[in-house]
């Protein structure tokens, strides 16, 4: 199973990704987590990435692309993977497409988590209290949404054109959302959802 999770900050991708990865028996590859590990470990990569992350800006594509290529080369990703937070730009999506074409392993689907903006903002301010992530400050959250709108949102069309998008209503109990995501993958595995999947009339982050 090779899946990409797509959705704005606060959509719950990370939480759902862990549950789905366990269910499908594939590794959960979160670029945000890998970057944060590098920052806390004080690696060269972490030093390069930290300022971008703290501001809520995207880290440069080539850095993230190299990081993901390395991660997907590990043996545990041979049977599949769940990508959380990557790709986040069209150039990243093109690099991933080429990488997977080289392995003759196209994506099975892209799960798009749909949550409206007021719910997202509430979740992020609640998380700020609990986790104290540097990029959950008001200013950084604003930047992360700007980055999402400008650079990540175009991926919805990029993947819809390829017939890969399955929408998941991501409001509700965590387990409920997980079940919806599984149903979206199972129910439509291999089916062409083009009509429903283009996501016209989106309600989130417009």
State the residues that interact with ligand ADP by CB under 6 A: 9, 31-32, 35, 52-53, 56-59, 64, 85-86, 88, 92, 135, 144
- Contact between 21 and 27 under an 8 Å Cβ cutoff? The reply is yes
Catalytic residue among 23, 55, 123, 127: 127
**Bridge pairing between strands 109-114 and 2-6:** parallel
**Cβ closest to ligand ADP, residue 121 vs residue 189:** 121
Q: Which residues contact 54 (CB under 8 A, 6 or more apart)?
A: 134, 135, 140
Q: Which is nearer to ligand ADP, 99 or 193 (CB)?
A: 99
Q: Which of 2, 88, 143, 180 is catalytic?
A: 88
- The one catalytic residue in 55, 123, 133, 202 is 133
Among the listed residues 2, 36, 143, 144, the single catalytic one is 144
CA dihedral 113, 150, 56, 114 (to 10 degrees): -10
Nearer to ligand ADP, 142 or 196 (CB): 142
Please name the residues in contact with 168: beta carbons below 8 A apart, sequence gap of 6 or more. 16, 111, 112, 113, 114, 177, 180, 181, 184
The string of DSSP codes covering 91-102 is HHHHHHHHHHHH
For ligand ADP, which is the closer residue by CB, 54 or 193? 54
State the alpha helices, DSSP H only, in the chain: 13-24, 31-40, 44-55, 61-72, 90-102, 117-131, 138-147, 154-161, 174-187, 194-197
Q: Under 8 Å CB-to-CB from 187, ≥6 apart: which residues?
A: none
Active site residue 36: no
CB of 169 to ligand ADP, least distance (A): 18
151 as an active site residue: the answer is no
- Catalytic, 103? Answer no
Of residues 149 and 196, the one with the C-beta less far from ligand ADP: 149
Work out how close the CB of 88 gets to ligand ADP at its nearest, in angstroms, rounded to a whole number: 4
| Least Å from the CB of residue 193 to ligand ADP | 24
Q: Is position 127 annotated as part of the catalytic site?
A: yes
88 is catalytic: yes
* CB of 164 vs ligand ADP, minimal distance in Å: 17
CB of 81 to ligand ADP, least distance (A): 14
The residues carrying an active-site annotation are: 13, 88, 127, 133, 144
């Amino acid at each position: 199973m090779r899946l990409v999770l797509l959705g704005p900050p606060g959509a719950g991708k990370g939480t759902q990704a862990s549950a789905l990865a366990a269910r499908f028996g594939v590794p959960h590859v979160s670029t945000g987590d890998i970057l944060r590990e590098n920052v806390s470990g004080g690696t060269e990569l972490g030093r390069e990435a930290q300022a971008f992350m703290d501001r809520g800006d995207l880290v440069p594509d080539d850095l993230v692309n190299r990081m993901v290529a390395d991660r997907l080369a590990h043996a545990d990703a041979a049977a599949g993977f769940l990508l959380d937070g990557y790709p986040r730009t069209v150039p990243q999506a093109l690099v991933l497409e080429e990488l997977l074409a080289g392995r003759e392993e196209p994506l099975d689907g892209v799960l798009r988590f749909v949550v409206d903006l007021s719910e997202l903002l509430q979740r992020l301010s609640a998380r700020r209290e609990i986790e104290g992530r540097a990029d959950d400050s008001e200013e950084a959250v604003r930047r992360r949404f700007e980055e999402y709108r400008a650079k990540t949102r175009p991926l919805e069309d990029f993947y819809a054109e390829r017939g890969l998008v399955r929408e998941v209503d991501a409001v509700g109990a965590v387990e409920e959302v997980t079940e919806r995501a599984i149903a979206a993958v199972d129910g439509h595995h291999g089916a062409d959802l083009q009509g429903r999947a283009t996501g016209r009339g989106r309600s989130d982050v417009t």
